[in-house]
Amino acid sequence: MSGICKIMGVPFNNINMTEAVGITLINLKERKKTVIYTPNPEMVMAAQKDREFMQVLNSAEILLPDGIGIVKASKFYHNPIKERVAGCDFIEILFGKIKTSINTVYLLGSAEGVAEKAKQRMQRRYRGLTISDTHHGYFKDGSPEEKEVIDEINRLNPEVLLVGLGFPRQEKWIAKHRDHLNSIIIMGVGGSLDVLSGNTRRAPEFYRNHGLEWFYRLITQPSRFKRMLVLPVFMIRAIGERFGAKIEFKGDKVIIKKMDGKNKKRKTAGSSKSKRK
């Protein structure tokens, strides 16, 4: 393994796709329980305000950099990340590797029928792959239905459990129940079940290969515009932290705090609009 690149408190494993799949297969063979999360810039930013979420991310065995923004920001840090490891691509490569093995998979999450559709589609694509069962993600945490889901998973005893409940719920759910689940590889997969089912179309290969998948999603789903605004804020804050400054945006002001362990020094700079006033 090539070490860790820690960005804004989130410790990414600095591994490429081949290494990530290889480590997972080794852990699967050795029956070493492994939790995998795939943080993107939006998740890293959310963890800045949610201490529990930050702790959960830090508790995983593997954190894959699922977002070109993570890779770009890492260039300003020691041990820059080799490449983006997209969760959806990782899953399909893993399926291809285990399709002729005795290992089984369980799909949990998304809306009613989506996981089942993903199961059928993946088993057609990867002949020999065994997906034991599926369940939607619309159950309440702590409910009798949740207990039934966990009991069913343990009864079927799948080696690989993919959980698509959306962040941060899926990561917190996995962290809470990992010791009660028999699965060896447990992975938070976000909206990947929608992609695997064919309900959501991924960006064409050109966009993915050039780190522009975010742009494709923006032009095809304009409603994501507000969510996309987190990307430039993430980059500014990540680069600032690398050089010892915590940068915050409040209204038309940029607040810069020197990160000296005690945060004694603080500098506030108004925007150009404020200065004209």
What pLDDT score was predicted for residue 231?
82
What pLDDT score was predicted for residue 261?
55
Q: Please check the confidence at residue 267 and state whether its pLDDT lies above 70.
A: no
Beta partners for residue 186, in sequence order:
35, 161
Tens-digit pLDDT profile for residues 191-215: 999 999 999 877 677 766 766 676 6
What is the reported pTM? 0.85
Decide which of 196 and 257 is more confident: 196
What pLDDT score was predicted for residue 266?
36
Question: Where does the pLDDT of residue 166 fall: very low under 50, low under 70, confident under 90, or very high at 90 and above?
Answer: very high
Question: Where does the pLDDT of residue 186 fall: very low under 50, low under 70, confident under 90, or very high at 90 and above?
Answer: very high
CB atoms within 10 A of CB 195: 20
Decide which of 220 and 3 is more confident: 3
CB atoms within 10 A of CB 246: 16
Question: Where does the pLDDT of residue 258 fall: very low under 50, low under 70, confident under 90, or very high at 90 and above?
Answer: confident
What pLDDT score was predicted for residue 257?
77
What pLDDT score was predicted for residue 244?
84
SS3 state at 31: coil
Of 267, 235, 243, the closest CA to residue 68 belongs to 235
Tens-digit pLDDT profile for residues 119-163: 999 999 999 999 999 999 999 999 999 999 999 999 999 999 999
88-102, 130-144, 190-204, 245-259 — which is least confidently predicted?
Answer: 245-259
CB atoms within 10 A of CB 143: 10
Q: Please check the confidence at residue 255 and state whether its pLDDT lies above 90.
A: no
For 120-189, the DSSP string reads HHHHHHSTT-EEEEEE-S---TTSHHHHHHHHHHHHH--SEEEEES-TTHHHHHHHHHGGG---SEEEE-
What pLDDT score was predicted for residue 3?
93
Is residue 246 within a helix (H) or strand (E), and if so which, with residue range? Answer: strand 245-250
Question: Where does the pLDDT of residue 272 fall: very low under 50, low under 70, confident under 90, or very high at 90 and above?
Answer: very low
What distance in Å separates the CA atoms of residue 120 and residue 203, rounded to the nearest whole number?
Answer: 22
For all residues of the chain together, what is the average pLDDT? 88
Mean pLDDT of 256-277: 47
What distance in Å separates the CA atoms of residue 118 and residue 132, rounded to the nearest whole number?
Answer: 12
CA-based R_g, the chain, Å:
20
What pLDDT score was predicted for residue 263?
43
What distance in Å separates the CA atoms of residue 185 and residue 183, rounded to the nearest whole number?
Answer: 6
Question: Where does the pLDDT of residue 224 fall: very low under 50, low under 70, confident under 90, or very high at 90 and above?
Answer: low
